[in-house]
Chain A
């Protein structure tokens, strides 16, 4: 199976004078189409690991490869472009952009990538994705006009807009009630099986974790 992202001996420490190492040499491979859960206590380094995998943060040492290509030497804007094309994010809080409606929020990554305005093709894709997450009747609603679950669906559609190879989801259902959370989870599963998008889902929820293909546990900055 093709490896989407591959981490080797990733270490991360914070602080200048007193160094606190949060990650102590992580090795992790996510394959194409894999649906993987990352579990761990708070403070175990889950979020730090997710940030590094998502190229939002740089490791203190170690290598990251996307489809076998190492990205350490890329410039900050190149990394932003790689991130835009290959990685989708879903966060615990929706982080939609308040000034834009659902359709526009989904189109944002596409517009940012081209630097232009919305094209017909972008609109079609955004409609298609919002339809896929069951939001086709809320296209022109702004984030503050829809419910928490609906926002999360819009942000999942946005994460999919650039057809990413992997979606990193940080507690995607953490802020939702059980019914809503089941709905969102099955949506992620559906996308995974239909589009073969890899997923790494950070969760506290053991039920969520047990429904994944693989569970990776992080304890004190090490995978166990």
Chain B
């Protein structure tokens, strides 16, 4: 405690010097907090947008393997010897058992059946080809929050009903309550529009329609089959790992969003590493600043250090006095810097808004981030005080006093 007390008093005594170095540290931390908030906010929104219309994991039945048109005992070399064969969709029949076994896997939050097929919607003269998604509204809603993306009507699929995208609704000029005709190669019927969604992607808003699973099955002449099981996990970055477990348990071919969006992940990673680089160099600059001010302070206080040594203060106590000064500067600076960084982020958010008033740059800073920043800055302060502290402990009272 003696050492902390002396450290604090020294810092208070050198008001201007201390204020400058704490400010330097605060500015550094503010940049770090702001940058971190911006990058992680941008990434979170990118991931959010990507996963807004995509399950974390999708399991499909294994597709039939392409068969070779060259028999293995054939000695003849044929160029283009492999045929891709028919890429026939495979269906899952025992999906109820599979879903219940998937739901027991650690990390899985929800699993839902999904049947996709091509269809045509018509209203009056206008016809559009669409992707018909047969789902169970309730369980699918747990995978993709369509309910939150409904802009008109509601997310519900009772009887012969359909939920369509914003662009398609505009094109057809329909609102909830209207009826549109849905046709496939095997069936055709009128469906009542119950809701209109905006999933954030033009292609989806234009192309997707949701119908009850059993309607889709009868429109595709199926008797209870589906073509994929969609899943949501609790930690999105463990999706790949969980997908492997799902594969083992169900022998379904499972792909996580991380595999289907590997380009996005690479972009996110390089964005993160460049942000870490910037933060690292900011901290190096802060460390040099703290170290240089403390070195000056050691020189200024040589006589006082000498007298403290003379009246019995141990050298390790002198070392601690200067280490604590570094740590206190780092800690105080980072607390102030966190406030500044947050204010900066808020300011940035307030000036950069979309025309509709929503923030252009989502900035997300979690309490843990602050704690990590403060911890890092305190450690940086401590480390940068190491050299000045060593210098202080080497003061020779015999030559300094008198």
Q: Give A contacts to B, CB under 8 Å.
A: 47, 51, 54, 56-57, 76-77, 80-81, 83-85, 88-89, 91-92, 95, 97-100, 108-109, 111-117, 158-159, 162, 170
State whether A56 and B1 are in contact (beta carbons under 8 Å apart), knowing that A83-B312, A109-B311 are contacts in the complex. Answer: no
Contact present for A84 and B397 (CB under 8 Å): no
Top 10 nearest A-B pairs (CB, nearest first) are: A84-B312, A99-B13, A57-B398, A109-B311, A112-B313, A95-B307, A51-B398, A56-B398, A99-B9, A77-B314
Q: Which of A80, A91, A100, A116 contacts B312 (CB 8 A)?
A: A80
Q: Which residues of A contact B317 (CB under 8 A)?
A: 112, 115
Q: Give B contacts to A, CB under 8 Å.
A: 1-3, 5, 9-10, 12-13, 303-304, 306-317, 397-398, 401-402
State whether A100 and B9 are in contact (beta carbons under 8 Å apart), knowing that A54-B310, A56-B401, A81-B314 are contacts in the complex. Answer: yes
Contact present for B2 and A97 (CB under 8 Å): no
Q: Which residues of B contact A159 (CB under 8 A)?
A: 311
Q: Which residues of A contact B306 (CB under 8 A)?
A: 95
Q: Which of A47, A80, A99, A113 contacts B402 (CB 8 A)?
A: A47
Contact present for B401 and A95 (CB under 8 Å): yes
State whether A56 and B397 are in contact (beta carbons under 8 Å apart), knowing that A99-B12, A112-B312 are contacts in the complex. Answer: yes
Contact present for A98 and B402 (CB under 8 Å): no
Q: Which of A77, A81, A117 contacts B1 (CB 8 A)?
A: A117
Instruction: Decide if the interface of chain B is mainly helix, strand, loop or mixed.
Output: helix
Cα A117 to Cα B308 in complex, Å, equals 15
Q: Which residues of B contact A99 (CB under 8 A)?
A: 9-10, 12-13
Show 30 residue pairs from A and B whose CB-CB distance is below 8 angstroms, ordered by the A residue: A51-B397, A56-B310, A56-B397, A56-B398, A56-B401, A77-B314, A77-B316, A80-B309, A81-B312, A81-B314, A83-B310, A83-B311, A83-B312, A84-B311, A84-B313, A91-B307, A95-B304, A97-B304, A97-B308, A99-B10, A99-B13, A108-B311, A109-B311, A109-B313, A111-B2, A112-B2, A112-B314, A117-B2, A117-B5, A159-B311
Q: Which of B2, B12, B307, B310 contacts A116 (CB 8 A)?
A: B2
Cα A162 to Cα B308 in complex, Å, equals 13
Interface-central residue, B304, B308, B313, by most chain A CB under 10 Å = B313
State whether A91 and B304 are in contact (beta carbons under 8 Å apart), knowing that A81-B312, A99-B13 are contacts in the complex. Answer: no
Q: Which residues of B contact A89 (CB under 8 A)?
A: 307, 310-311, 401
Contact present for B313 and A80 (CB under 8 Å): yes
Cα A85 to Cα B13 in complex, Å, equals 28
Q: Which residues of A contact B316 (CB under 8 A)?
A: 77
Q: Which residues of B contact A81 (CB under 8 A)?
A: 312, 314
Q: Which residues of A contact B401 (CB under 8 A)?
A: 56, 89, 91, 95
Q: Which residues of B contact A109 (CB under 8 A)?
A: 311-313
Interface-central residue, B3, B303, B304, B310, by most chain A CB under 10 Å = B310
